[in-house]
Amino acid sequence: MDKRFYLTTPIYYVNGVPHVGSATTTLLCDALARFHRLRGETVFFLTGTDEHGSKVAEAAAKAGLSPQALVDRNSRQFADCWNYLHVSYDDFIRTSEPRHMEVVAEVFRRLLAKGDIYASQYEGWYSVADETFLRDSEVRDGRSLETGAEVRRITEDNYFFRLSAYQDRLLQHIEANPNFLQPDTRRNEVLAFIKEGLRDVAISRTNAGWDIPVPNDPAQSIYVWFDAVINYLSATGWPNDAAWDTLWPADLHLVGKEIYTRFHATLWPAMLMGLDLPLPGTVLGHGWWLIGGEKGAKSKGNIPTPQEVVEELVARSGADPEVAKDALRYYLLRDISYTSDAEFSIDNLIQNRYNPELCNKLGNLLNRTLKMLAQYAGGVIPDCAAQTQDGPLATLAREAAQDAERAMLAFDPGAALEAALKLVEGGNGDIDRTAPWKLAKAGDTAGMGEALYAALEATRIAAVLLTPMLPHVADVIRAQLGLSGKPLADWAHETQWGGLPAGTQTEEAHPIFPRIDTKREPKPALKKEPAMPETKIEDTPPAPPALAVPDAPAVPSYITIDDFAKIQLKIGEIKTADRVEGATKLLKLTVDIGEDAPRQILAGIAESYAPESLPGLKIVVVANLAPRKMRGLESQGMLMAATDAEGHAILLHPADPAAVPPGAQVR
Ligand code: MSP
């Protein structure tokens, strides 16, 4: 079998919980794995959990659980979180599994037999919190200079790994393989670290607890980091599984910067050299998410979980939760940096990425173009691939695809997102320039068709470029373009101009990323799509004559108080709110107006309010409007709403909702 593209995340400590930091590394790998699969390669994407060590034993004792029960429970949280985010891992390795523990013992035996492992005495500092041995120069006042964690002075008989013996070979390998350590800043840090002089490292501890015992010396247990890095090899089935070398060497180890130099760029490669195994193609380290300038960590309680961010996005935007997950993916992948740290905040996510890029640029391009196509051409893709293939958008699409591919091959999903966005911006700019609504008005059907085809084809290609990063959103875009039944071919085919077949019936446009109004209170979430020229409003129920004043007459025609008294206005409390299948603007509500049962009311407010934001709200209802049917459903009243500058319905509420019960008269 051919060599597979093999990439790994760090294995996460089970005594932590998944958060947006660990999710970032995992999602970077997910995007790269999906990209390589889209290119037609066979991929093996490994993640997992790091389950040994005294910290785990201590946590289990505190929780009143056996260590195995604790690690089973906590490891599942990581798998659940990655499944929630649709991480496409191929294998999930746990260091408490026999398949891993046996390989660790085998590595130990081989290195011992070779003389690369020897027994000696360790006298120095150890940090339990970081599971790290430290030099005197790395400690001040009983704490690690790097992490601030408490250290203990220990004197132990230990086994040592002869790291110093690999100093020169490591330097040679790094110099000869410019792609091995990335980015350059980290490579330079590693070179400086090695040149300072590598010292042999203790790789066992006495007082074995919840660890892998040293073969033939059960009083000693294997140091967690020696154990942990071997996961990358044990997952391949080395040395007994015949197919292990279809995986090894790994093409990419992706890790955060704090575990880069000491563990992934020196100890692990030296161990592999000791085993006469080839080294991984690339070890890549990224920067941290900071929260208020400090490293985000669950132990500090300052970093949210992916679920928390997604829930907040859904509450504030009314977006589909699957879309919100992709919005989080977009932000994490676009703003994490390989060379520096970045500040994480939901406000940054919304103000820098969600609203301006996903909603105003990507969502808007698709929405406005599809609406125009529906209005002027029955939603059917015109036969214009050939006429547009040398046009400015086709050129831009080719460049964007090349840029995105180059970025992904350089392990940089953030740069690939930028390339896709450039194409989206080009699409919007082209629509503004060609103004298909003017062409349609002027009867230039051919020109209008070409303009719309080019914009829609650019949108399709942008969705292909986004597929590895935003898998759900890319599918929704394809579905709206009428391509849901058409399987995705490979990257090379899908990025060719002209893939949108003439005659395809597109779906009704509906906004993917409801805009988040940052000036309003988070709830109720107000959704606004940017205004679009010349659209038809299909589902808005016509307002009854008594309340609709389309063009205010110059001289007001008065009504009497008796006329007004005919309209029965009551306070209602919204009980439930649901979308109506097939209608983009209607919501189906049940509203308590103080009667025996709540009324069913249909309201054209779906573009302004997320259904989940409505229950519990007090509103004003016209209670004696004759019932009428909309979309086959009976509406038994009408909500009162004002209209904002962009034509969106804004509901009216009592100033003191608690003071007025459902059914209270409005006069
Ligand atoms: N178990 C070790 C890794 C062993 S790999 C053989 C470990 N685990 S960890 O749970 O602490 O995970 C650390 C990793 O989580 C980092 O390397 C990084 O990938 C990710 N992150 C943790 N906090 C982070 C930020 N604040 N920002 C970005 N990534 C972060 O270390």
Whether the ω angle into residue 545 lies within 30 degrees of 0, i.e. cis, is: no
Ligand 1: residue whose CA is nearest its atom 18: 256
Q: Give residue 141 CA to ligand 1 midpoint distance, Å.
A: 26
pLDDT at residue 351, as a whole number = 97
Element (H, E) at 143: strand 143-144
Q: Note whether 252 and 4 are within 8 A (CB).
A: no
Question: What's the Cα-to-Cα distance from 319 to each of 305, 387, 513, 580, 586, rounded to whole Å?
Answer: 19, 37, 6, 16, 16
The b/e string for 140-152 (b: 16+ C-beta within 10 A; e otherwise) is eeebbeebeeebe
How much is the average pLDDT of 314-331? 98
Ligand 1: residue whose CA is nearest its atom 8: 12
pLDDT for residue 629 is more than 90: no
How much is the average pLDDT of 536-561? 37
Q: Rounded to an integer, what distance in angstroms lies between the CA atom of residue 499 and that of residue 485?
A: 14
Ramachandran angles phi, psi of 592, nearest 5°: -85, 115
How much is the average pLDDT of 78-90? 98
Question: Is the model more confident about 561 or about 255?
Answer: 255
Residues with CB under 6 A from ligand 1: 10-13, 16, 21-22, 24-25, 50, 228-229, 231, 255-256, 259, 288-289, 295-297
Q: Note whether 394 and 466 are within 8 A (CB).
A: no
pLDDT band at 527 (very low <50, low <70, confident <90, very high): very low
pLDDT for residue 206 is more than 90: no
Q: Note whether 633 and 611 are within 8 A (CB).
A: no
pTM of the model: 0.79
The per-residue pLDDT for range 373-427, each reduced to its tens digit, is 999 999 999 999 999 999 999 999 999 999 999 999 999 999 999 999 999 999 9
The 10 Å Cβ neighbour count of residue 155 is 9
pLDDT at residue 646, as a whole number = 65
Q: Give residue 169 CA to ligand 1 midpoint distance, Å.
A: 28
For a mutational test of ligand 1's pocket, the pick from 77, 259, 336, i.e. the residue with the most ligand atoms closer than 8 A to its C-beta, is 259
Q: What is the DSSP letter of 152?
A: E
Q: Give residue 558 CA to ligand 1 midpoint distance, Å.
A: 71
pLDDT at residue 552, as a whole number = 29
The amino acid that residue 79 corresponds to is A
17 CB-contact burial (10 Å; exposed 0-12 / middle 13-18 / buried 19+) = middle
Ligand 1: residue whose CA is nearest its atom 12: 12
pLDDT at residue 536, as a whole number = 28
Question: What's the Cα-to-Cα distance from 535 to each of 196, 367, 381, 530, 607, rounded to whole Å?
Answer: 68, 11, 18, 12, 14
pLDDT for residue 207 is more than 80: no
Q: Which two tokens stand for residue 159?
A: 């086994």
Return the SS3 of 609. strand
How much is the average pLDDT of 229-256? 98
pLDDT at residue 244, as a whole number = 98
pLDDT for residue 100 is more than 60: yes
pLDDT at residue 557, as a whole number = 53
The 10 Å Cβ neighbour count of residue 535 is 17
The per-residue pLDDT for range 342-355, each reduced to its tens digit, is 999 999 999 999 99
The b/e string for 42-52 (b: 16+ C-beta within 10 A; e otherwise) is ebbbbbbbbbb
CA 468 to chain centre: 11
Ramachandran angles phi, psi of 312, nearest 5°: -65, -40
pLDDT for residue 316 is more than 60: yes
For a mutational test of ligand 1's pocket, the pick from 12, 283, 298, i.e. the residue with the most ligand atoms closer than 8 A to its C-beta, is 12
Ligand 1: residue whose CA is nearest its atom 13: 12
Q: Give residue 128 CA to ligand 1 midpoint distance, Å.
A: 16
173 CB-contact burial (10 Å; exposed 0-12 / middle 13-18 / buried 19+) = middle
CA torsion angle 641 642 644 648 (round to 10): 20
pLDDT at residue 525, as a whole number = 37
pLDDT band at 554 (very low <50, low <70, confident <90, very high): very low
Ramachandran angles phi, psi of 578, nearest 5°: -140, 155
Ligand 1: residue whose CA is nearest its atom 29: 21
The 10 Å Cβ neighbour count of residue 93 is 19
The per-residue pLDDT for range 146-182, each reduced to its tens digit, is 888 999 998 989 999 999 999 999 999 999 999 999 9
pLDDT at residue 533, as a whole number = 32
Q: Note whether 236 and 244 are within 8 A (CB).
A: yes
The per-residue pLDDT for range 451-495, each reduced to its tens digit, is 999 999 999 999 999 999 999 999 999 999 999 989 999 999 999
* Strands ordered across the beta sheet of 201-202: 132-134, 117-127, 152-161, 201-202
pLDDT band at 627 (very low <50, low <70, confident <90, very high): confident
The b/e string for 376-405 (b: 16+ C-beta within 10 A; e otherwise) is bbebebbebbeebbebebbebbbebbebbb
Return the closest-CA partner of residue 204 out of 234, 225, 232, 231. Answer: 225
pLDDT for residue 521 is more than 90: no
Rg (CA), the chain: 31
Mean pLDDT of the chain, nearest integer: 91
Question: What's the Cα-to-Cα distance from 321 to each of 28, 335, 652, rounded to whole Å?
Answer: 20, 21, 28
pLDDT at residue 524, as a whole number = 44
pLDDT for residue 51 is more than 60: yes
Write the secondary structure of 305-374 as one string of H (helix), E (strand) and C (coil). CHHHHHHHHHHHHCCCHHHHHHHHHHHHHHHCCCCCCEECCHHHHHHHHHHHHHHHHHHHHHHHHHHHHH
The per-residue pLDDT for range 634-643, each reduced to its tens digit, is 899 999 988 8
- Distance in Å from the first CA to the final CA of the chain: 80
Q: Rounded to an integer, what distance in angstroms lies between the CA atom of residue 619 and that of residue 640?
A: 8
Query: Which phi-psi region, left, alpha or beta, contains residue 157 (left: φ > 0; alpha: ψ -120 to 50)?
Result: beta
Q: Note whether 317 and 527 are within 8 A (CB).
A: yes
pLDDT for residue 539 is more than 50: no
Return the closest-CA partner of residue 627 out of 637, 617, 618. Answer: 637
% the chain with pLDDT above 90: 77
pLDDT for residue 537 is more than 60: no
The DSSP bridge partners found for residue 156 are: 122
For a mutational test of ligand 1's pocket, the pick from 15, 25, 103, i.e. the residue with the most ligand atoms closer than 8 A to its C-beta, is 25
Return the closest-CA partner of residue 498 out of 369, 569, 394. Answer: 394
Q: What ranges make up the beta strands (E) of 171-325?
A: 181-182, 201-202, 204-205, 213-214, 217-222, 252-256, 282-286, 289-291, 294-295
Return the SS3 of 92. strand
CA atoms within 13 A on the CB side of 502: 9
Q: Give residue 295 CA to ligand 1 midpoint distance, Å.
A: 11
Ramachandran angles phi, psi of 334, nearest 5°: -80, -35
β-pairing, 252-256 vs 282-286, is parallel
pLDDT for residue 535 is more than 60: no
Q: Which atom of ligand 1 is nearest to the CA of 50?
A: 1
Q: Rounded to an integer, what distance in angstroms lies between the CA atom of residue 446 and that of residue 188?
A: 58
Q: Which of 243-247, 280-284, 399-403, 581-585 has the lowest mean pLDDT?
A: 581-585
The per-residue pLDDT for range 302-313, each reduced to its tens digit, is 999 999 999 999
pLDDT band at 132 (very low <50, low <70, confident <90, very high): confident
